[in-house]
Structure 1
Amino acid sequence: MRLTVLGGSGAWPTADQGCGGFLVEHDGFRLLIDPGYATFSRLLASGHSAHAVDAVLVSHGHPDHCADLNPLLRARQLADAPAPPLPLHAPRGALDAVLALDKRSMLAGSYRLHEFWPEQGGTCFEIGPFRVEASLLPHFVPNAGLRLTAPDGTVLAYTGDTGPSPDVARLARDADLFLCEATYVHEVPDPGDAPYLLTAALAGTYAERAGARELLLTHLWPGTAPAAALASAAVRFGGPTRVTAPGLTVEAGGGK
């Protein structure tokens, strides 16, 4: 399983990178997870056309996780040779706003919407070669923590955006790659936001509890020094740890 980072900035894109966006590939199948602000251009820059995406999976409806679904669908539908309808998988209602940006008739044939509801015990379904387990994690809006298992047993766990919860470690149990939101370094500055966001320190804690093999920190608040987030996570987690950066590619599992 290969993961390519298209962006990892939290809340809004910076001059250096877009918001969360990840291309996950296995055996020729390309799954785009969370096409947030400014990730579509990065997808193109990485050598993949809009037509190359086989399916989209969205953790929740905040625009820094799904706004660039609009240009992706436009590029597929308005091309000289339109692409087949793109399967979209998202929590119920999460894509209503972004799909309403254009008149319904313009993009109606460009996608097939498959909505699900994340459950605390995990809702399971298939996307291409991947078995997906979607678990409800605490955030300002309904958010699906995602656990993808490839046919060779490789596991990618991704929190979306979440607050502290024992379900985070359960989601990431024995994962080959744990992609974890780490908005702040040590603590969430606004106590009202603390139930709904994580820190790099907590990401390290959950990675250690889960027995994850590798930790990838994402959704850092714009302006956060990656080195500070890495140092904070390393206090709690002894395994390999990186921070998302555009173009970063991670090979997970290796056919275990």
Structure 2
Amino acid sequence: MRITVLGACGAWPETGSACSGYLVEHDGFRLVMDLGYATFPRLLEHVAAEEVDAVWISHGHPDHCVDLNPLLRARALGDEPVPALPVFAPPGALDAVLALDKPGMLAASYALHEVVPGDAFEIGPFRAGTRLLPHHVPNAGIRLEADGAVLAYTGDTGPSPEVVELARGADLLVAEATYVDEVPGGDAPYLTSARQAGAQAARAGAGRLLLTHLWPGTGREAARRAAEARFDGETGVAESGQVIDLGR
């Protein structure tokens, strides 16, 4: 299983970067997890629009899903017809993005599969499990397994035992870490700090931890150190263009 980071900024993209987005490949199958601001041009550096096999969207905030629109436009308006793209997301998460164009314009370019968090299903070679995680809007964390390799991705979430179960024994946990040490005020139930992400990775027994969704301007080294204070495994901060290979 190969994971390529398309972007990892929280809220809006910093100069030269992009918001949340990951290309996950296994046995020639190409799955995109989240498509936030500025991820589509990054995706095209690795695969053509028509070569994407499926998309997973964790929740409906635009820094995680808005670039689904240009991906669908490229497939719908290109010179060669391509099959409808399977798109998996929690119910209603993509209503706003899919309404950006005139009715029917992109309808043939995708096949929407609404996934109730807690459901398990298959995406190509991946066995997928999902869990409802606490956020300002419904957010589904996803666990992908293929040939013994396990990837867990939180989307956006507050601290929760469900995160620990999602990542139980995973080779890699890609965890939202918007803040370094503490999440301020009313956001505390709905977002996670790097320190909290490290603690959850440790409780889950994850092999590696990759912090993502840092607030713009947050020091990456400070975030990494905060997570390492709670987690003994390999810890990194996601960067656009980073590639991680799991398993064989």
| TMscore range, shorter length | over 0.9
Once the two structures are superposed, what CA deviation does each residue of 1:15-53 show, in whole Å capped at 9, x if it has no partner?
A: 1311000000000000000011100000112x3110110
* C-alpha deviation, 1:168, in angstroms: 0.8
Is 1:79–2:75 an aligned residue pair?
A: no
RMSD: 0.7
2:239 — aligned with what?
Answer: 245
Name 1:198's counterpart in structure 2: 192
| Distance in 2 (alpha carbons) for counterparts of 1:168 and 1:253 | 22
2:207 aligned counterpart, secondary structure: coil
Give the Cα separation in 2 of the matches to 1:167 and 1:235: 22
2:33 aligned with 1:33, yes or no?
Answer: yes
Task: Tell me which of 115, 133, 137 is aligned to 1:137.
Answer: 133
Give the letter aligned to residue 69 of structure 1.
Answer: L
Whether 2:222 is the aligned partner of 1:222: answer no
Note the C-alpha offset of 1:104. Answer: 2.2
TM-superposition CA deviations, 1:192-237 (whole Å, max 9, x none): 1100000000110011111101100000000001100000000001
Q: How far 1:253 moved relative to its partner?
A: 2.1
Q: In the alignment, which residue of structure 2 is the partner of 1:18?
A: 18
Q: For residue 168 of structure 2, what is the aligned residue in structure 1?
A: 173
Amino acid corresponding to residue 165 of structure 2 in structure 1? R
1:146 maps to which residue? 142
> Secondary structure at the residue paired with 2:8?
strand
CA distance in 1, matches of 2:210, 2:181: 16
Q: Distance in 2 between matches of 1:248 and 1:88?
A: 24
**In 1: Cα distance, 2:105 partner to 2:116 partner:** 27
What number of residue pairs does the alignment pair up?
248
Aligned twin of 1:58:
57
Secondary structure of the equivalent of 2:187? coil
Deviating 4+ runs (over 3 angstroms): none
Which ranges in structure 1 are unaligned for 5 or more consecutive residues? none
Structure-2 separation of matches of 1:174 and 1:117 = 23
Tell me the distance in 2 between the aligned counterparts of 1:153 and 1:180. Answer: 20
Deviations 1:172-194 (A, max 9, x none): 000001000000000012x2110
Q: CA deviation at 1:252?
A: 1.2
Distance 1:252 1:219 in 2: 21
Matched residue SS, 2:181: coil
SS at match of 2:202: helix
User: Could you list the per-position Cα deviations for residues 107-147 of structure 1 after superposition, in whole angstroms to 9, with x for gaps in the alignment?
Assistant: 111000000110xxx31011111111110000000000111
For residues 153 and 58 of structure 1, the distance between their equivalents in structure 2, rounded to whole angstroms, comes to 23
- The amino acid that maps onto 1:226 is R
**What is residue 183 of structure 2 aligned with on the other side?**
188
Gaps of 5+ in 2: none
